[in-house]
Each structure stands twice: as C-alpha cells, then as structure tokens.
Structure 1
Amino acid sequence: MWKLILSTVYLITTFISVELRISEEDNFQDRSPRCESSFSLSFWDLPMYDSLMSLASGKADLKVPVTVVWNAANLVDLHLALALRDWEPAVSVLKRTCGQSSNINCTYFSNPEYPAPYKGNGNPCTLSVWKCNKAICQVRLDFIDFNLGEPDAMGRCTDDFLLITGTGSNIKRICGMNTGQHVYLDFAGEAPIELLIDVNSALATERKWNIKISQVECCKRAPVGCLMHYTASSGKVKSLNYAPTLSTAVQDPTAPGPGTRQLAELNYGVCVQMLPGYCSIEWTQSVGDKYSFTVSGDTEALDPTVLGTAAASVTGEMCLTNFVIIPNPTVDELPSKTDRFCGNGFPTVVSSSKPFVMTVVTNPATSPTEVPETPDVGNRGFSLNYRQLPCV
C-alpha cells in the first residue's frame, strides 16, 4: 500500500505524462490501419486527481477507466485505463458490426440490433480484423453470445454460418449454438482475418451474436494446431454446437431419423497447458449427461441403459469418420492398444504425453445430397471434463 501511495504522489508531483492509445475512426476501411499511435497528456490535463487520491487512500477500486475525447480534424477517441498495480494501460474496448474493420485489441463484433435478434437485409455481415501490431500472431474469438441456425442433418453449415478466411488455422464454417466457446486463429501474414456471417432469411430462426476478439502476441500464442486452448488445472471441453438436445434437422428420406449436431469437415486440436507440478491429464464424460459423448453411429437406436457408458464406447479401426484422438492413453489404468475413441460412450482415459492435446476429427462430407453407408443419427458431439494429475 505504501508503495502505491508513494508512486501515486510521485506521479502527481512530478507532472509525468503518459501514453494514450489512439484509435483512428475516420476512413478506417480505406487502408490497412495501424494498431495505435502515441499521444502524451499530463495527469493535470485529466479529471483524475480525485480518482488517484481515492485510490491512494484505499477508497476506490484499483482499476479506474478514464475516457478523454480529443476533438481534432479527424475525431479521435483517446481511451485511458490505468491498472495502478503495474502502471500499465489496459486494452481499449471497441464495438463493431457489419461492414466494418478493427485493429484494436478487445473488439466486440455483434449484429447491429444486439442484444435483440438479427433482422438481416439479405447481405452477409462482415468484419475485417487487422493485426494490432507486428508482435501479434493470433486472435482469440470468445463467443459471448452465439446463436445461428443449426447445421443440416449431416453436420454441414449450409443455411446459417460464420465463415472465417485469411487465417492459417484449420477451420471453415461454424454454425448452431456456441455460446461460451472459443477458438484461436492464426494470422496468415499481414492480411486481415475476415469474419463473414451469412443467414438464410427464409428460415424462421432467431439469430444473434456477440463475439469478443482479443489479439494475441506471438510470445503468448496458443500452440500450433490448437483451435481451443485451456490453461486451468481442470475444466470442461465441448464440441462445437454441443447440446444434449436432438438436432432439429432430419436425415435424407433414404436414411430417416434425426441428424447430428456435430459440425462436419473439422480436424483440430483441443489443447491444455500443462501446469507446474502436473504430469498427466485425465479425460472423463460430463456427469449427469448421458449424451456427453455421442459422436458416431445411431444414438437413438441404442439401449438407453447402455448409452453414455464405457460399454457403448468404440475404439480403434472402427472409428472411421467421427472420433477423438488421445495420444498414448491408459484406460482403467491399463495401456490402451489404440488412441481413437468414438461411439456413444467414453471410458476414463489418462494420458501422460506432452503437450496435453486431444484431436477432434469429424466426417469430410463431400456433397449436400450424399448419405454415408452408416449415417450418424441423433449424435450430439461431446462434453468432456479434463483434470490435470499431479506428478508422483
């Protein structure tokens, strides 16, 4: 506390200026925008004296956001947020919607009416995301709120979808319900990452989205191939569009039955950062959800007493189209002969291979009318718990 008070007094009495981030709004889309510029203002020029003294006396929260508007030829918003513990400016927060661009860290991309549903005008809704600076390698998309139409019965996003281009990451289209999910995207050179949301307005589906876009420095990037990256000692991982409820799509008449919720044509890694003192990772089905690992086969035809148990698990060469891969696994404390898991149940799996990664593969559908020989019926995807295990 004394260090904080002395630092505050020193800043005030020595008339030190700080750097502010400038986001240039005018003609933003006419060029490749730079991340930020520097502009100096003295603390005496800001309405911060009372705030700083309140902080020093412990009467206010440690983080005080202050916004100043500088009226120049090109209107410029100056965003200042001091984290007094480290005297570092916090990130700017910017809201963007259809037909716009951003090169600011912590941008929120939402439909124009948000939080109300998207009305649409027949045209795709697009956002261009430029690098904030040369030290940036990735962006992280957090789906704060994301509800589009579901995929078709084969898992293809044909009516509604988020299309991601300009990235080196292995991701194509995302649709369905993905609130709470996140993905990491690699920049491909200096070009922007393009986000395009298109919907079939002929369908009576309520759609809305609010996506937080965080820029990730190269030194803090998620490992290559990790579409999802988790850093806690334990947590829950869900496949895209996972829910325990049935898909509303219906299979082709030649293969009747409810469709799959899983998104097709994906091959990505779910990575967990190994923490100090931990040497292995355990994967288990979500408790109380018998559909939490239903990734292949006819889920609806399965005996309900078997569904969601290890007895409904399929492994090895039987997993051809939809499956997860966990390297060098042990099952029931015995080494497994295979690293592939599919079916409608999941055994407790432990792996000591580093890095901690689970690879997700979904069927490469090739035609909107193609029906596989053994269709997936009523699959939900997966909802798995992970837990890092201490070294022994």
Structure 2
Amino acid sequence: MVPLRQTFVLATVALVFLIPGYLCNDGKAFPLFNVVQFDNTVCTSSMAMSGMSSGTTTRNGTCYTESECQTRNGLPAGKCASGFGICCVFIVNAGAVTQNNTYLQNLGFSGPLMAATAVTYTINKVEPDVCFLRLDFDTFNIMGPAGTMETTGGTCDDTMTVTAPGANLPSICGSNTGQHMYIDIGKTAMNTAMINFMFMAPAMGATMGMTSMRTWDIKVTQFKFSDPGNPPPGCLQYHSGMAGRIRTFNYDAMASTHIASQNYQVCIRQEPGYSCIQYTVCADMTGFTLDVATIAGAAVDTGCTSDFIEISGSSALCNQGTLTSRYCGTNLNTAAMAMADTSICDCTAPFRVGIFTDKMADTGVAAMPASKGLCLEYKQLP
C-alpha cells in the first residue's frame, strides 16, 4: 500500500510562555517571552485501534494546541511537537468531515450498528488544493450479496457508495477489512465527496462477510495535487512496493461471492530498475474464480465476456510467447481450458489490473465452485 504522506499545513499555532526577564548591565532587556511555533501536521496518537485493523495499532491524529483540539471536537490522545502540542484524533459517526485523518465509524463501534437506517458522510476539503482522498478500511463488514453461487449476479444487500465530481465509482459491500480506495475529488476548492451506507433486510441465505455485524472504521486521508504519492488517473486502488496482494472487494477465506457491476483499475507503482510484474494466485485461498458456472478451467480473451480481469499485454513467460489480456474461469492460466493455476507476467507498463463483473446471475451446475473473485500476489521483476 502507498505510505501516507502528510503534506498539509493547516495553520501555524503560537504558544506563548512567560519566562523571567532581567536587564543586562548595559541596560538592554532580554525578551520576556519565548514563542514556540509548530505546524498542524499528522501525528501518531496514543489511542489504540479497535476491532480488526489493517496492521496499525494506534490511530493517526493532527497536532494542535489543547484548546484548538477541543474547539474542533477532537479527542486528545498524547503529545506532539516535542510536548508543546496535543495529538488530536477525529472520529465522526455521521455528517460533515472537516479535518484531515478523520475516522468514519458506525455508531457504537467497535460494536455493531444497531439501527438499519442510512448513514451519510460529507467529506470537505481541508485545503483548496486537495485533489485525492484515500479511504483505508481498517474495519469493514456489512451485508454482502445473497448466497455464494452468484445466483443474484452478485447484487449487494447492503451498499457503501462514494460519489465525487466526475468520478465513476463502484458500490461495494460485504467483508473488506484491509482494503482501500483512492477518490479523485477534483481541483475545485468547494468540491466534496459523499459516502453513503444503505441497508436492507437480509435475503434468505445472505452472507455477512466474515461476521454477522455491520461495523466499519474507515480512515480518510486528504492529499494535495502536488503530493508525489498520488495515484495515476483512473486508479481506484494504488499499490507500491516490490511485492503485495490484490483482492477483489468482498473476497475472503470464508464463503463469499464477488460483487456485481464492478469496473475499476488496480494500479501498481513501477519501482526503479524493475520492468515486469509477475502475478500468482494466493496460496492460502481459493484465489481465482470468475464466471465459473459456465466455464470449467481457465478461459482467456474472447472466452471472457461477463466477469473477468484484464492484464493487457501479459503472457506466461516475461517478454516471451503470445500476449493475452483477459482471464476468467476456475483457474488463472494463459491456456484455455487449463485446469491448473500458473503465473502471469506483465512487462507492459503502466502496471494495471482491470476488474470487470456484470450483474447477471450465473447459470450452471450447482456443484461448481462459488464465483468468489480473485486474490493475487504480485512481485516486481528486473
């Protein structure tokens, strides 16, 4: 995942401390006041994470004076700025978000949401030149699609939908702890983003992701246009580093199904000196099942028309063999009808994995495996 780079200076705060003053022999007075200034930058608080997190143990905050933290309805959690400031944590259950590094939580977190009424958040820019939001799902469990055989086409019972100017973003549901999203909020200073949770009574056989509770804890980080860690245009997810893992939304080790009507790009930052990426199916999960009710074994290119992933210009061996773009079926393989998974190599930067699913219900034999989506491990190759 991309390291969060805090580049915002929201204000400069001055603390004034009275110190003893005295006169020199020549009659000149030393200053009676010492002024300490610090920027309102990101800080690591003493507030522990609750529930299931994506690897962090404490929450991020913003460095303010104690009075400013109180005025902004933040929670003081430890010191910052060499002890002159307070690490102020912001948690919002619904409504407006006006601070960077704010956590969106369901009412009653870390317990479940008790009332199935819609919850809406409005994300306001903290600086006029903010252009990206990053949503980190430290905890995310709501109702997923009914059943595990894509009998409803992957239609969500509950939904989380993000709307932003000019952005076409997929609705998601189910179990998504550890996932993230980048939201292009646009360059206009007054632009906002809306995050809306909608809930419905569970259908017969519906799954709840990894739990039977509606719980979420989402960190919202804002980035300026000039931040070097911003994703390329069109990337809903952006990974960095030599190796990592890509999962479709609502993909977990338990029984689940992929989500309907997905159309987004997962991007990987190319590291200096590396020109290829190798993808393999996650060994600890049933890592690749897309459109499985009609396809046994692997399918490629024109054999994939409804649910598939796209890795343009990829092949079985790096820079060798026939290039392939689309993959679906019960196995990841460049050979149609192959019954085993193999590695896929992409040497055509920029590195992207397109995720595409329709909203049509699969038809086929009940004994076929669930159409879960995918979990891929990637590593960069020189």
Q: TM-score if structure 2 supplies the norm length? A: 0.71
Partner AA of 1:361 in structure 2: F
Q: Secondary structure of the equivalent of 1:70?
A: helix
The gaps in structure 2 that reach 5 residues or longer are 1-7, 20-35, 37-59, 333-341
Partner of 1:165: 163
Name whichever structure is richer in helix by fraction.
1
Give deviations 1:314-354, integer Å, cap 9, x for gaps.
10101001111112112145323421111111131111111
- Kept in 2, the 8 Å contact 1:69–1:77? The answer is no
**Are 1:230 and 1:271, in contact at CA under 8 Å, matched by a contact in 2?**
yes
Paired with 2:100 and 2:192, the residues of 1 have a C-alpha distance of 14
Question: For residue 281 of structure 1, what is the aligned residue in structure 2?
Answer: 277
Q: Distance in 1 between matches of 2:17 and 2:249?
A: 47
Aligned-partner Cα distance in 2 for 1:137–1:200:
33
Distance 1:39 1:64 in 2: 16
Partner of 1:69: 66
1:322 aligns with 2:307: yes
Residues 167 and 151 (structure 1), Cα distance of their counterparts in 2 relative to 1, 3 Å cut:
farther
Separation in structure 1 between the aligned mates of residue 354 and residue 87 of structure 2, nearest angstrom: 33
Q: C-alpha displacement at 1:242, in angstroms?
A: 0.4
Separation in structure 1 between the aligned mates of residue 249 and residue 61 of structure 2, nearest angstrom: 37
Q: 1:371 Cα shift?
A: 4.2
Aligned partners of 2:310, 2:13: CA distance in 1, in Å?
51
Find the aligned partners of 2:214 and 2:62 in 1 and give their Cα distance: 32
Q: Which one of 237, 243, 246 corresponds to residue 255 of structure 2? A: 246
Instruction: Supply the AA of the counterpart residue of 2:144.
Output: E
Could you tell me which residue of structure 1 aligns to residue 226 of structure 2? Answer: 219
SS across alignment from 2:331: coil
Where structure 1 has 5 or more consecutive residues not aligned to the other structure, the ranges are 1-20, 22-34, 50-62, 248-260, 303-311
Deviation string 1:68-108 (CA, Å, 9 cap, x unpaired) is 43289x93568796467xx9x9985310012x211211110
Instruction: Report the secondary structure of 1:278's partner residue.
Output: coil
Tell me the residue number matched to 1:135.
129
- Asked whether 1:293 is paired with 2:288, we answer yes
| Alpha-carbon distance in 2 for matches of 1:168, 1:262 | 26
Match of 1:355 among 328, 350, 365: 350
Distance 1:218 1:317 in 2: 39
Q: CA RMSD in A?
A: 3.5
When the two structures are superposed, what TM-score results if normalisation uses the length of structure 1? Answer: 0.69
Q: Which whole-Å CA distance do the structure 1 matches of 2:63 and 2:323 have between them?
A: 59
Superposed, 1:1-392 pairs within 5 Å as 36-42=10-16, 68-70=65-67, 75-76=71-72, 82=80, 93-98=89-94, 100-120=95-115, 122-152=116-146, 153-188=151-186, 189=188, 190-201=190-201, 205-220=212-227, 221-247=230-256, 261-289=257-285, 291-298=286-293, 312-333=297-318, 334-346=320-332, 347-363=342-358, 365=359, 371=361, 378-390=370-382
Deviation at 1:241, TM superposition (A): 0.3
Instruction: Please give the per-residue CA displacement for 1:133-177, whole angstroms capped at 9, x wherever unaligned.
Output: 122111010100000001234344442111211243332311000
Cα distance change of structure 1 residues 209 and 281 upon mapping to structure 2, 3 Å threshold: same
